Structure formats: structure tokens, C-alpha cells
Structure 1
Amino acid sequence: MRCFWIEPGALARERITAIADELPVDPADPRMVAIAAYVTPLARGAQVVAALRELVDRTTDPTVIRFLGSAALQVGAFDLAARFSLAAQPGLRAEGRLGLLSRALAVQAWSHARLGDLAAALPAAEEAGRLAHETRQPYMVGLARAVQAEIAALRGDHDLAEKLAAEAERVGLAAGARPVLATVQLARGLAALGSGRHADAVAALLRVFDPADPAYQLALRCYVVAELAEAAVHCDRADVVRDLIAELEQAPTTSPALHHGLRYARAVLASDEDAEELFRVALQADLTGWPLERGRLQLAFGEWLRRRRRAAESRPVLRAARETFDALGVTASSDRAARELRAAGEATPDREPDALGDLTAHELNIAHLAAEGLTNREIGQRLYLSHRTVSTHLHRIFPKLGISARGELGAALRREG
């Protein structure tokens, strides 16, 4: 785990790997899979991803499931990371293991944010931060704040994103926690992209790739390739990104996140002669469960088509991108898609007000649990609150969603989400 939170250097990673390889333990053992993910996320990425897929639903131990979720995050299998982390939580709650629960929630939040599922990421990040504070895990507090900053940036609330990023950065610098600082730079890069400050976005994201920078993180740098490429093509820094891509192309990993990012980068950085084919190849990849990646590709391809005076072809692609971003609540990208659609000759309807945006992350979490049929007392036990506090929250939630009864929660959340 220290190989994730700090950077011990190549020699230390090699020594740990050599010792692990000598252990009389089956390489398919979940602990060995996790060691490979933490220590050699790229060099052994392909075998880790394969092993994680084999281990799905094979264990009931919540502590094992939790660290498999964390291992999946290291190798960019965010769909698996979210699945493992969510599956670990009932057992960790039942056992009262709040320290590990905060870690599982943080991995869930980080992964869901990268997948674009902001409605799931936000309450997970909020609870992760609260429990991490109560269990005195400052680096986990910082990670939760950084994810909240990323979510705020995706939703277009750039002032809040910077406020949360600054809070997370203070924690990350004090604890020397590289994943926190890397996520801070991701959040700042997204906020800069959303406001059209492409040079600032490149500067923020390049820090994650610089081994001399405290925000450098061996694994997480691989998962911001698309954002860096998007920023670079808008400010004449494409050559820098091409050099980084050339390095990452050599990684012997089947990381879904890395390969989605590389396909996007190849397309946006390509010459006019090659770009269209590369966009189509990227869109034909298996993006099931990765809606944010699909929307990003559609938006970039639609922009490329429109700028080549192929407005009629661009409109359905841009429309699909805008619908995806609207559904995810990724406001800045939705607004950009709407602008491109108008430039392509299609009027776009105003976005419906987002009632979920009026709920705090804590309220959203309570609303989802109540919609699942849990009683106030059960919700309180789950979140370590009194049933009276839960009742008070629900009375605040109902008018925000425009409902008056508990039975209407499910429909309201589906409608707004």
C-alpha cells in the first residue's frame, strides 16, 4: 500500500516484487493479486485484470473484497473497482469496521466519478470523508475531498471545485499522499477545461506525469490521458502528449481506463487523414459501463466533423453526446455539446433544472436508502445516525424533490437521475 500512497522508487518496487514471487503462495491468491496491482500496476497489469475478473463473486470476506476493489483501481478497471468496493460495504458495516469502510467508500467514489456516475460518487465521497475524519485517517479525508472537487468540476461548479481541491491539497501535502495530490490536479484540470483555460489544464495535468512533482503517481497518471490530450490540442501542446502516449503505449497492461484514454488521444491528436478512422475505432470499443468515455468521444468526433463542414453528420453525434452528459449531470461538457449543436444548425432545448443538485451528498445518500425501502432506524444504523436525525433529513429532502411522501422517492430519483 505504501507503493500507492508514496513513491518508493523502481528499486524498492523490484525488491518487493522479487520477495513476493518467492512466497509459497498461489499467484491467484487475492493477496498476491493485490500486491501485483499495488507494486507493478503496469508491468503486471494484464495478469492483474485477468485475475480480478476471475475473482468476482468468489469470496464473501468483506476485507478481501475491499482490497480487491482497491487493486482494481490501481490497474484502471474502474467498473470492477466500483463493484468490489460496493460489495464489501455491507459486511464492513455489519462488523463495524469503519476505518476499512471509509477506504471502500473512497475507492467507490473515485471509480464512480471516473465512470461518470456522479449520483453514486457524491454520497460515497461524503460518507468516506466523514468516516475517515472520525477514524483519524487524514489521507483518506484528503482523497474524499479531492473526489468531491472532481465531481464539482464535472458539474460545472468551478468555485466549489477549487475550494475542495485546496482543502484536499493541504491534507495531501501534509501527509505526503500522492493519490490525493494527483486527484487534486485532475480536478483542477477538469475545471480549467470546463472554463476554456486549456493551458492551465495542461499545466495541472502534466504535474501528475512529472516524477519530481509530489502529485506524481505511477498508476493514476495513466488514467488522465484523455483529459490531457483534450487540453493539449487546444493550446498547441500536442507534441508533449504524443511523447507521453508513446511511453504508455509500451505498457503490457489490459487496463480498460488506459486503453480508453489512449484511443481517445490517438484520435484527437491524429492528422486529418487518419482522425476519422481512429474516432470510429474508439467508438466501436466496448464502452459498456463507461458512459463518460463514450460521451467524451462523441463530443470530440462531433466537433471534428463540424469543423470540416460536415454539419449534418455532426448533429446526431453531438446530440448523443449532449444527451449522455445531461443524464450524467456533467454540465460543462453538456453546455459545450449544446454550443456545438447550435453552430451545426440545430436548436437545443434548455436543460431541465436538476433537483438532485439541491440535495447535499448526505441527503442524497439518505434519499437513496429510503427509496430502497430501509426504515429510518435501519438508515440510521447504516450511517451511524439517530433515527430522529434521519427523519429530519427526509423532511428537508421531500420539498427539494417536489414530493410529499416516502413512497414517491424512487420515482423522483429515477426522474432526476
Structure 2
Amino acid sequence: MARYAAVSLAGFRGAEAEASRLIEMVEKDASAAGQGVGILWCQLVSGILYNGLGRYEKALASAQRASEQAPELFVSAWALPELIEAATRTGNTQLALEALEQLAEATSAGATDWGLGIHARSRALLGEGKAAEGSYREAIDRLSRTRLRPELARAHLVYGEWLRRANRRVDSREQLRTADQMFTEMGAGAFAERTKGELLATGQRVRKRTVETRDDLTVQEAQVARLARDGVSNAEIGERLFISRSTVEYHLHKVFSKLGISSRHQLEHALPPESSAAARP
């Protein structure tokens, strides 16, 4: 069991290289031993890892593999929330709706705060307006009564993301700051970085200036620049920030102009790995 605990911890922390290595190793051993549940567990952890990193296509593929077995298997049921989040982020609404129905069946029998809270959080991702907000609040209320702090932190995160897209920046920051603090305390690096990116997108200023430019980068320009520096494609940047590909290209053009560079490769030196450009709203 120790190796499954280790792979789970690595996946939640979001250290991609370490987690991928452990997932591959444990999955290989499980396959050799004919342990189907072990293979499913590794796929579940992979889904969590990639949802944390904002790599939703990969998260969806992993979560689908983890949830394709009989729903009474606990691993398959636990993979459904990962599938729903990844599916909604990649525009696979019908797939998310089907998974939500399965999740409702899996959580309704026990009627625990954990199960109903996870279902409410997943339902909120597919909702709109007041119905969605009510589900987000229900998820936070229920999960706050459990010991599952990671799931509660993720509820604050997705609620904050939803509020930002609804242009409720002040409300969004409140949820995102809570999530950021929780993820940081738990050592969930990938989820913490995803949360920090959302906070920047609300207009929160970056605290420390490390790159001097004639014209400061805006919050969105700084966020796009960091993702581009890290090798994320324009299409994936747009997916993570909920903006179009052409808008990403526009921001990169402005970034190159302000930093006096002409290519993505130069961002490595213009934006050091452990720092951010000063940003203005």
C-alpha cells in the first residue's frame, strides 16, 4: 500500500516528472501482477495530476481509462469527478453529463457530506447562473464538514474560476485566496500555481518586480508570457485562461514588444523561472 500512497501524494503535489515516474513504475508492477485495480488507481492519480496542471486533455484521457470499469469499483467512481472537470474544460459536455449521472448514482446511496459535496461541485461545473452558484456553495458547505481538505480547496478553486468568468472579481479573489492558502499549506504545488494564475487574471498585482520594462505588462500579458515561456502552446494557453487563440497571439505580440524580444525562446531570460513581471490591471 505504501507505493500507492506515494504515487497518490506525488500526483496531488503536481510534481510532473516525479509523479509520472512513479505512476509508470507502479502501473507496470500492477500490470505484471494482474492487479487491475492498481492500474485504475494509477490512471486516477494521473487524472488528478493533469487537472492540477491544467492539462485537461491528458486529464480527460486518464480519467476515462480509470472510470471505464464497473461503477461499483471504488476507483472508477472516484475517477468520475476528475473526468467531469476535464470534460467541461475541454468542451465535452455530453461526456461530462453522462459521468455526472453515474456520479449521482454512486453518491446518493450513502448520502454522506463527502459524496454529496463532490457531486455538488461536479454539478456546478455543468450549471449556469444561480443554479451553478448554489451548487458551488453547497459543495463548499458539505465538504467543509469533512476531513477531505484537498476536495474543499478544489471547490473553492473552481468556484473562484466561475466567479472570475462571471466578472465578479472581488468575490472571485476571496475564493481563490482561500484555495491558494489551502493548497500551499498542503504542498499541492500544481493546484496552487493554477490558483495563483487565476488570481492574477482577476487583476491582483504581482508583489515583487523582477523584470524592468519600459511599459509594465498587464496581468493577462504576464500570465500568457509565463505560460508561453514554460512551453505551453497558444491553443492550450487559451484553454487555461478562457480566451481565444487569437487573443493569446495578440498578448504575446504585446509582450514581445514591451520586453524587446522577438521569440518565445527569449522569454526564458526575460522572465526568470522563479519570478514574474510586474503587472498592472
Provide TM-score, normalisation by structure 2.
0.67
Tell me which of 87, 90, 99 is aligned to 1:235: 90
Q: 1:232/1:254 Cα in 2 relative to 1: closer, same or farther (>3 Å)?
A: same
- Measured after TM superposition, the shift of residue 206 of structure 1 is 0.9
Residue 223 of structure 1 corresponds to 78
- Measured after TM superposition, the shift of residue 181 of structure 1 is 0.9
How many Å separate the matches in 1 of 2:72 and 2:37?
6
The one-letter amino acid of 1:339's match is G
Matched, 1:299 2:173: no
Question: Is the 1:209–1:217 contact (alpha carbons within 8 Å) kept by the matching residues of 2?
Answer: no
Question: Is the 2:83–2:99 contact (alpha carbons within 8 Å) kept by the matching residues of 1?
Answer: no
- Measured after TM superposition, the shift of residue 275 of structure 1 is 0.8
| Residues 262-294 of structure 1, C-alpha deviations (whole Å, 9 max, x = no match) | 111101111234211111111121523121111
How many Å separate the matches in 2 of 1:260 and 1:179?
25
Q: 1:225/1:260 Cα in 2 relative to 1: closer, same or farther (>3 Å)?
A: farther
Matched, 1:259 2:124: no
Structure 2 unaligned regions, length at least 5: 209-281
| Residues 68-122 of structure 1, C-alpha deviations (whole Å, 9 max, x = no match) | xxxxxxxxxxxxxxxxxxxxxxxxxxxxxxxxxxxxxx3xxxxxxxxxxxxxxxx
Instruction: Give the total of aligned pairs.
Output: 205
Matched, 1:330 2:168: no
How many Å separate the matches in 2 of 1:295 and 1:265?
14
| Residues 289-329 of structure 1, C-alpha deviations (whole Å, 9 max, x = no match) | 12111110101011111111110111111100100001100
- Measured after TM superposition, the shift of residue 244 of structure 1 is 2.3
Residue 132 of structure 2 corresponds to 275
- Measured after TM superposition, the shift of residue 250 of structure 1 is 2.9
Q: 1:195/1:249 Cα in 2 relative to 1: closer, same or farther (>3 Å)?
A: closer
How many Å separate the matches in 2 of 1:225 and 1:203?
12
Residue 290 of structure 1 corresponds to 148
**Which shifted more, 328-337 or 152-161?**
152-161
Question: Is the 1:303–1:340 contact (alpha carbons within 8 Å) kept by the matching residues of 2?
Answer: yes
- Measured after TM superposition, the shift of residue 248 of structure 1 is 3.3
How many Å separate the matches in 2 of 1:243 and 1:193?
19
Question: Is the 2:118–2:139 contact (alpha carbons within 8 Å) kept by the matching residues of 1?
Answer: no
How many Å separate the matches in 1 of 2:141 and 2:72?
30
Tell me which of 49, 52, 56 is aligned to 1:194: 52
Tell me which of 13, 18, 22 is aligned to 1:160: 18
- Measured after TM superposition, the shift of residue 179 of structure 1 is 2.4
The alignment partner of 1:224 has SS state of helix
Provide TM-score, normalisation by structure 1.
0.46
The alignment partner of 2:69 has SS state of coil
How many Å separate the matches in 2 of 1:286 and 1:197?
25
Bigger Rg, which one: 1
How many Å separate the matches in 2 of 1:344 and 1:245?
29
The one-letter amino acid of 1:195's match is L
Matched, 1:209 2:67: yes
| Residues 189-244 of structure 1, C-alpha deviations (whole Å, 9 max, x = no match) | 122223332111111111122238xxx87122222332222211110122112112
Structure 1 unaligned regions, length at least 5: 1-105, 107-124, 126-143, 351-417
Question: Is the 1:305–1:313 contact (alpha carbons within 8 Å) kept by the matching residues of 2?
Answer: yes
Question: Is the 1:208–1:217 contact (alpha carbons within 8 Å) kept by the matching residues of 2?
Answer: no
CA RMSD, Structure 1 to Structure 2 (Å): 2.1
Q: 1:299/1:279 Cα in 2 relative to 1: closer, same or farther (>3 Å)?
A: same
Q: Which residues in structure 2 correspond to 1:9-408 (within 5 Å)?
A: 106=1, 125=2, 144=3, 146-211=4-69, 218-251=73-106, 252-287=109-144, 288-347=146-205
Question: Is the 1:179–1:217 contact (alpha carbons within 8 Å) kept by the matching residues of 2?
Answer: no
The alignment partner of 2:184 has SS state of helix
The one-letter amino acid of 1:312's match is V
Q: 1:248/1:233 Cα in 2 relative to 1: closer, same or farther (>3 Å)?
A: closer
How many Å separate the matches in 2 of 1:168 and 1:345?
42
Which structure has more relative contact order (CA 8 Å, sep 6+)? It is 2
Question: Is the 1:208–1:221 contact (alpha carbons within 8 Å) kept by the matching residues of 2?
Answer: yes
Question: Is the 2:67–2:80 contact (alpha carbons within 8 Å) kept by the matching residues of 1?
Answer: no
